[in-house]
Amino acid sequence: MTVRGSAVSAWTAVGVLAACAQLYVGCSGGASATIPPTSLPDGSSSSSMGTGDDGASVGVEDAAVAADGADSQRLPDSAGVEESGLFDAGQLLTKLDAAGGVDAKQDSGAGDGGHFKDGSIDGPPGTGDGSAPTWCSALNPRPLFCEDFDEGAIAPGWSSVHMTGGSILLDTTEFQSAPGALIADSAVVASMKPTVDLAAYRSFAITGRATFAGTLDLDIRVDRADAPGGVAVLAQFGLADGGGGASYFLQLVAISNGSKPLSISVSEVAFPGNGPVNHPATQTIPLATWTHATLSLTAPFGGGAGTAVLGLDGMLAERIAVDVPLQNRAQTIAVGLTYASAPSTGWTAVFDNVTFDAMSN
């Protein structure tokens, strides 16, 4: 795998320029502005705007993993809650290949990428309009956070939606559960400066006495990849300290191989810091095909050694030892194109059925 020189230089500089480089923190400069959910009609806009300091955080847990321990309990859908019980990220190792495991929740959707052709935002009769359960509403037990984009909008469930360097819209032609999904489409960038932040962000304030464990589940389809060597962050999970002066990010990174399947890496980024720590996965992601991804993190609230696990389509892709160099006081997840290297011929990625679960002890 070869990464373009421009991508490498931008990637390496993130430790010093993370707050502005947008590579891992989802922030952008200039005249951009974050679009709050209430100001984004129908969950779509073609304006090139959006930024903020939401950072990024990727932590969502599969229902089967969360329920693994007899003493484990789910956190209610609220912030700042202490809860007993804990699932360890290592439990994913035995769950990813099990029947009814990570991919069990997809069965209530439209199979391998349903299609709805008329382009209306409300979807076909009987879905997303109250006449039948949506994918999220049918989940039992309920995750801490779920977004299936089947309610005719992309923004209401998120803390903010960033739109810099392209468009982020509700897609009613490609989805895993009808009638909608999120599509991020980045523009061609001729300069060497990364300018892409097309993602939805959700913040949490989960507290605990000892250990935080979170998992992000989502379906991803990359229809257009950058030229070979181009880099894009498809999802991320961030932790921030209480004073807001330090952040840690765990990211799902795609590296273009042209028309061939994408190489995948899990990257750790600490700010301030000296740059990312990259953990290449052995699996790849094919283009124009739905892939189910699971990214899990277990780490002490006080900082220190932890574990991260990446699963792709029910198979273990990577298990890594991580080091979180800060006290975990807030968490954020992001889904979309939170970063794309430059110059770039552009990316098009579709996201659906996003869940986040977290536990603490």
Strand locations in the chain (E): 145-147, 160-164, 166-171, 181-186, 197-204, 211-224, 231-240, 247-257, 260-271, 277-285, 291-300, 304-312, 315-324, 330-340, 348-360
Q: Is the pLDDT of residue 17 over 90?
A: no
Q: What percent of the chain has pLDDT over 70?
A: 63
* C-alpha closest to that of 310 among 90, 99, 134: 90
For position 328, what pLDDT does the model report? 75
Domains of the chain from N-terminus onward: 5-360 (2.60.120.200)
Residue 83, both tokens: 């809860």
Mean pLDDT for the stretch of residues 273-298: 94
Q: Is the pLDDT of residue 177 over 60?
A: yes
Query: Per residue in 317-338, pLDDT tens?
Result: 999 999 999 887 899 999 999 9
Whole-model pTM over 0.75: no
Query: Per residue in 240-261, pLDDT tens?
Result: 987 778 999 999 999 999 999 9
Give the Cβ contact number of residue 77 at 10 Å.
12
Q: Is the pLDDT of residue 219 over 60?
A: yes
Most distant CA atoms of the chain, gap in Å: 54
